[in-house]
Chains A and B, each alone.
Chain A
Amino acid sequence: MGNGVKNQHISRQFDDELENVLGKVLAMGGLVEQQLNNALKSLIDGDTELATVVIETEIQVNTYEVTIDQECTKILARRQPAASDLRLVTAISKTITDLERVGDEAEKIAKMGLELTEKQGPKSYYVGINAMGNLVSRMLHDVLDAFARMDSIRAVEVASKEPESDDQYSAILRQLITYMMEDARNISGTLDAVWVARALERIGDHSRNICENIIYLVEGKDVRHISIERMEEIVSNSNR
Chain B
Amino acid sequence: MQQNNPNTAKIIKAYAEEKVVTEPGTTTKTHAIDMSNIVKSDVDAKLADEKVCIEITDFNLFYSGKQALKDINMTIPDKRVTAFIGPSGCGKSTLLRCFNRMNDLVDGVTIEGNIKLEGNDIFDKNVNVADLRRRVGMVFQKPNPFPKSIYENVAYGLRIQGIRDRRTIDTVVERSLKGAALWDEVKDRLDDLAMGLSGGQQQRLVIARAIAIEPEVILLDEPASALDPISTLKIEELIYELKDKFTIVIVTHNMQQAARVSDYTAYMYMGEMVEFNDTSTLFTNPNKKMTEDYITGRYG
Contact = CB atoms under 8 A, between A and B. Distances in A.
Interface of A: 1-12, 14-15, 18-19, 22-23, 26-27, 29-31, 33-34, 37, 60, 63-64, 80-88, 141, 144-145, 148-152, 217-221, 238-240
19 contacts: A1-B293, A4-B36, A5-B23, A7-B36, A7-B298, A18-B33, A19-B31, A26-B8, A30-B5, A34-B3, A34-B4, A63-B1, A64-B1, A81-B296, A83-B292, A141-B7, A218-B38, A220-B284, A239-B39
B289 A85 contact: no
Contacts of A240: 39
A86 B298 CA distance: 14
Interface string B2-37: 011101110110111000010100001011111111
B41 interface: yes
Nearest to B16: A23
Given A22-B33, A63-B1, A33 B7 contact: yes
Interface in B277-295: 283-286, 288-295
A7 B35 contact: yes
Going nearest first, the 10 A-B pairs with the smallest beta carbon separation are A30-B8, A220-B285, A148-B15, A34-B5, A2-B290, A7-B30, A82-B295, A220-B41, A30-B3, A150-B37
Interface of B: 1, 3-5, 7-9, 11-12, 14-16, 21, 23, 28, 30-43, 255-256, 259, 283-286, 288-300
Given A9-B296, A29-B11, A19 B33 contact: yes
B37 A218 contact: yes
A190 B286 CA distance: 53
Contacts of B33: 7, 15, 18-19, 22, 88
B35 A84 contact: yes
A63 B14 CA distance: 24
Contacts of B296: 9, 81-85
Given A14-B297, A18-B33, A19-B32, A148 B11 contact: yes
Contact of B39 (A3, A9, A238): A238
